[in-house]
Amino acid sequence: GESVGLHLPTLSVQEGDNSIINCAYSNSASDYFIWYKQESGKGPQFIIDIRSNMDKRQGQRVTVLLNKTVKHLSLQIAATQPGDSAVYFCAPVSGNTGKLIFGQGTTLQVKP
Amino acid sequence: GAGVSQSPSNKVTEKGKDVELRCDPISGHTALYWYRQSLGQGLEFLIYFQGNSAPDKSGLPSDRFSAERTGGSVSTLTIQRTQQEDSAVYLCASSSEAGPNNQPQHFGDGTRLSIL
C-alpha cells in the first residue's frame, strides 16, 4: 500500500534558526500534498499545500518544495519560534476520495 | 468561523460497551472523513463520506465499526462491543471538495476514547 516516511523522527533547532522537515512518499500517482502541524491534545492544523504541477509554494514563514522525480517533499520554516514546536506531518492525498496518507510525523523542538 | 466540532472530547467506557462519537463538519463541506490516531502514531484512515453516502469504507477495522451521515452534515461513528485495542483518538475532518480538485481537509480536535 501507499506509505509516507519522514527522514527524522525528531528535529531540534535553536529559536530564530530555519528548520527543514523532510518527507518521502511512495505513490508516484499522488498529485496533491498537504503539510499539517499537530500540537499536543489538538487535531492536525493545515499549514500549506502543494499540487504536483508546482515544485515550490510559499506561505507566511513556510515554504514547501516538491521533487516528483525522487518523490520527496520538504517543509521549510523560517525564523523558527517556540510556538512552532509540534509534530509535523506531510500527507499525500490518495485518489479521488481525497483521503490522506499519514506517516509517523517529525517532532520539532525549538530551543530558546 | 466555526471549525469542525467533535463530541465528546473524552470518553471512558468499559470493554464490551457500545460508544457513539459525533462530528459536526464545517458548514457547506460535502466531504467528511474519520481517522484514528493511536498514541505516538500517524493518522489511520477509517471512512470517507461524500454527502450522505460512503464511497470508501476501506479503513474500518472490523464490522464492530460503523458510521453514518445524515442531511449531508453531522456524522456519527459507532463502535460496538468495544475492545481495549479500540483505545485511540478519533479525528474527524471535512473539506469543501474531494475529487480531481481536492481541497484541504480541516480537522476537529478529536475524541479521546479509553476502553477499560
Residue B75: inside a domain: yes
Segment B32-37 mean pLDDT: 97
Residue B116: inside a domain: no
Residue B106: inside a domain: no
The pLDDT assigned to B115 comes to 97
Q: Report the domain count for chain B.
A: 1
Q: pLDDT of A45-79, one tens digit each?
A: 999 999 999 999 999 999 999 999 999 999 999 99
Cβ pair B83, B23 in contact under 8 A: no
Residue B103: inside a domain: no
The range of the structural domain enclosing residue B56 comes to 5-98
Please give the order of strands across the beta sheet that includes B5-7.
B5-7, B19-24, B75-79, B65-69
CATH number at residue B31: 2.60.40.10
The pLDDT assigned to B1 comes to 55
Which residue of chain B has the CA closest to A6? B42
Q: Residue B70, SS3?
A: coil
> What superfamily does domain A4-93 belong to in CATH?
Immunoglobulins (2.60.40.10)
Which residue of chain A has the CA closest to B112? A41
The pLDDT assigned to A96 comes to 79
Residue B107: inside a domain: no
Instruction: Give A34's contacts in chain B (Cβ within 8 Å).
Output: 104-105
Q: pLDDT of A7-27, one tens digit each?
A: 678 999 999 999 999 999 998
What's the pLDDT band for A1 if we cut at 50, 70, 90? low
Residue contact B98–A98, C-beta within 8 A: yes
Q: Please say if the pLDDT value at position B27 is more than 70.
A: yes
User: Parallel, antiparallel, or unpaired: how do β-strands B75-79 and B43-50 relate?
Assistant: unpaired
- B110 — contact with chain A (CB < 8 Å)? yes
DSSP chain A: ---EEES-SEEEEETTS-EEEEEEES-TT--EEEEEEE-TTS--EEEEEEETT-SEEE-SSEEEEEETTTTEEEEEESS--GGG-EEEEEEEEEGGGTEE-----EEEEEE-
Task: Mark out chain A residues that contact chain B at CB-CB < 8 A.
Answer: 4, 32, 34, 36, 41-46, 49, 89, 91, 93, 96-105
- B107 — contact with chain A (CB < 8 Å)? yes
Residue contact A104–B41, C-beta within 8 A: yes
